Amino acid sequence: MDYSKPTAQMLGRWQPFHDGHLALFKEILKKTGQVCIMVRDQVTTKDNPFVFDEIKQRIEEKLKDYTGQFEVIKVPNITNICYGRGVGYKIEEIILPKEIQEISATNIRKEMGL
Protein backbone atom coordinates (compact mmCIF):
# COMPACT_ATOMS: atom_id res chain seq x y z
CA MET A 1 0.00 0.00 0.00
CA ASP A 2 1.28 3.45 -0.90
CA TYR A 3 0.73 5.74 2.10
CA SER A 4 1.04 8.87 -0.05
CA LYS A 5 -1.91 7.95 -2.30
CA PRO A 6 -5.58 8.66 -1.55
CA THR A 7 -6.91 5.94 0.75
CA ALA A 8 -10.39 5.02 1.94
CA GLN A 9 -10.99 4.03 5.55
CA MET A 10 -13.03 1.28 7.20
CA LEU A 11 -13.37 1.56 10.97
CA GLY A 12 -14.94 -1.16 13.07
CA ARG A 13 -14.71 -3.98 15.57
CA TRP A 14 -14.83 -6.79 12.94
CA GLN A 15 -16.11 -9.38 15.46
CA PRO A 16 -15.74 -11.32 13.14
CA PHE A 17 -14.95 -9.93 9.68
CA HIS A 18 -17.72 -11.49 7.55
CA ASP A 19 -19.12 -11.53 4.00
CA GLY A 20 -21.00 -8.28 4.60
CA HIS A 21 -17.73 -6.61 5.52
CA LEU A 22 -16.13 -8.15 2.42
CA ALA A 23 -18.87 -6.69 0.20
CA LEU A 24 -18.40 -3.30 1.88
CA PHE A 25 -14.62 -3.52 1.38
CA LYS A 26 -15.08 -4.18 -2.35
CA GLU A 27 -17.31 -1.11 -2.72
CA ILE A 28 -14.97 1.08 -0.70
CA LEU A 29 -11.94 -0.15 -2.66
CA LYS A 30 -13.54 1.31 -5.81
CA LYS A 31 -13.26 4.78 -4.27
CA THR A 32 -9.45 5.03 -4.14
CA GLY A 33 -7.92 1.66 -4.98
CA GLN A 34 -6.65 1.08 -1.45
CA VAL A 35 -8.23 0.82 2.00
CA CYS A 36 -6.99 1.27 5.56
CA ILE A 37 -8.95 -1.12 7.78
CA MET A 38 -8.90 0.21 11.32
CA VAL A 39 -9.62 -2.18 14.17
CA ARG A 40 -10.95 -0.55 17.33
CA ASP A 41 -8.95 -1.72 20.35
CA GLN A 42 -11.50 -2.92 22.89
CA VAL A 43 -11.63 -5.03 26.01
CA THR A 44 -12.52 -8.65 25.23
CA THR A 45 -16.18 -9.33 26.04
CA LYS A 46 -18.98 -11.61 24.82
CA ASP A 47 -19.66 -9.12 22.00
CA ASN A 48 -15.93 -8.65 21.33
CA PRO A 49 -14.43 -12.13 21.73
CA PHE A 50 -11.53 -11.70 19.31
CA VAL A 51 -8.28 -9.81 19.98
CA PHE A 52 -6.51 -7.70 17.37
CA ASP A 53 -4.12 -10.41 16.13
CA GLU A 54 -7.05 -12.80 15.50
CA ILE A 55 -9.05 -10.09 13.75
CA LYS A 56 -6.10 -9.06 11.56
CA GLN A 57 -5.43 -12.68 10.58
CA ARG A 58 -9.09 -13.28 9.63
CA ILE A 59 -9.20 -10.08 7.58
CA GLU A 60 -5.97 -10.91 5.77
CA GLU A 61 -7.24 -14.42 4.99
CA LYS A 62 -10.57 -13.06 3.69
CA LEU A 63 -8.81 -10.41 1.57
CA LYS A 64 -5.90 -12.51 0.28
CA ASP A 65 -6.91 -11.67 -3.32
CA TYR A 66 -6.39 -7.96 -2.52
CA THR A 67 -2.87 -8.09 -1.08
CA GLY A 68 -1.17 -4.72 -1.42
CA GLN A 69 -4.49 -2.87 -1.62
CA PHE A 70 -5.22 -2.73 2.10
CA GLU A 71 -3.59 -2.35 5.48
CA VAL A 72 -5.00 -3.52 8.82
CA ILE A 73 -4.09 -1.37 11.81
CA LYS A 74 -5.11 -1.21 15.45
CA VAL A 75 -6.50 2.14 16.62
CA PRO A 76 -7.86 3.39 19.95
CA ASN A 77 -11.51 2.64 20.73
CA ILE A 78 -12.78 5.43 18.48
CA THR A 79 -16.42 6.20 19.26
CA ASN A 80 -16.83 9.62 17.62
CA ILE A 81 -15.61 10.88 14.25
CA CYS A 82 -15.70 14.66 14.30
CA TYR A 83 -14.61 17.36 11.91
CA GLY A 84 -14.76 21.12 11.61
CA ARG A 85 -15.06 22.51 8.10
CA GLY A 86 -13.75 21.56 4.65
CA VAL A 87 -11.08 19.20 5.96
CA GLY A 88 -10.31 17.48 2.64
CA TYR A 89 -12.16 14.21 3.11
CA LYS A 90 -15.71 12.88 3.05
CA ILE A 91 -17.67 10.82 5.52
CA GLU A 92 -19.85 8.63 3.35
CA GLU A 93 -22.35 5.82 3.97
CA ILE A 94 -22.19 2.90 1.53
CA ILE A 95 -25.62 1.32 0.99
CA LEU A 96 -25.38 -2.38 0.18
CA PRO A 97 -28.16 -4.76 -0.92
CA LYS A 98 -30.63 -5.69 1.86
CA GLU A 99 -29.41 -9.31 2.10
CA ILE A 100 -25.88 -8.07 2.78
CA GLN A 101 -27.01 -5.33 5.18
CA GLU A 102 -28.78 -8.03 7.20
CA ILE A 103 -25.63 -10.11 7.82
CA SER A 104 -25.11 -10.02 11.57
CA ALA A 105 -21.84 -10.55 13.39
CA THR A 106 -23.92 -11.25 16.52
CA ASN A 107 -25.61 -14.18 14.76
CA ILE A 108 -22.28 -15.37 13.36
CA ARG A 109 -20.78 -15.38 16.86
CA LYS A 110 -23.76 -17.43 18.11
CA GLU A 111 -23.23 -19.95 15.27
CA MET A 112 -19.56 -20.11 16.33
CA GLY A 113 -20.66 -20.98 19.86
CA LEU A 114 -19.40 -17.70 21.31
CATH code, domain with 31: 3.40.50.620
- Concatenating the DSSP letter of every residue in 69-97 gives SEEEEEE---------S--S----PPPPP
> In the prediction, which pLDDT does 42 show?
94
The answer to whether position 103 is within a domain reads: yes
Q: How far apart are CA 104 and CA 53, in angstroms?
A: 21
The answer to whether position 43 is within a domain reads: yes
55-88, pLDDT tens digit by residue? 999 999 999 999 999 999 999 999 998 888 877 8
The answer to whether position 48 is within a domain reads: yes
- When computed from its CA atoms, the radius of gyration of the chain, rounded to whole angstroms, is 15
Q: How far apart are CA 31 and CA 41, in angstroms?
A: 26
10-35, pLDDT tens digit by residue? 999 999 999 999 999 999 999 999 99
List the domain range (segments joined by +) for residue 55. 8-77+87-111
Cα distances from 75 to residues 3, 8, 23, in angstroms, run 17, 15, 22
The answer to whether position 3 is within a domain reads: no
Number of structural domains the chain divides into: 1
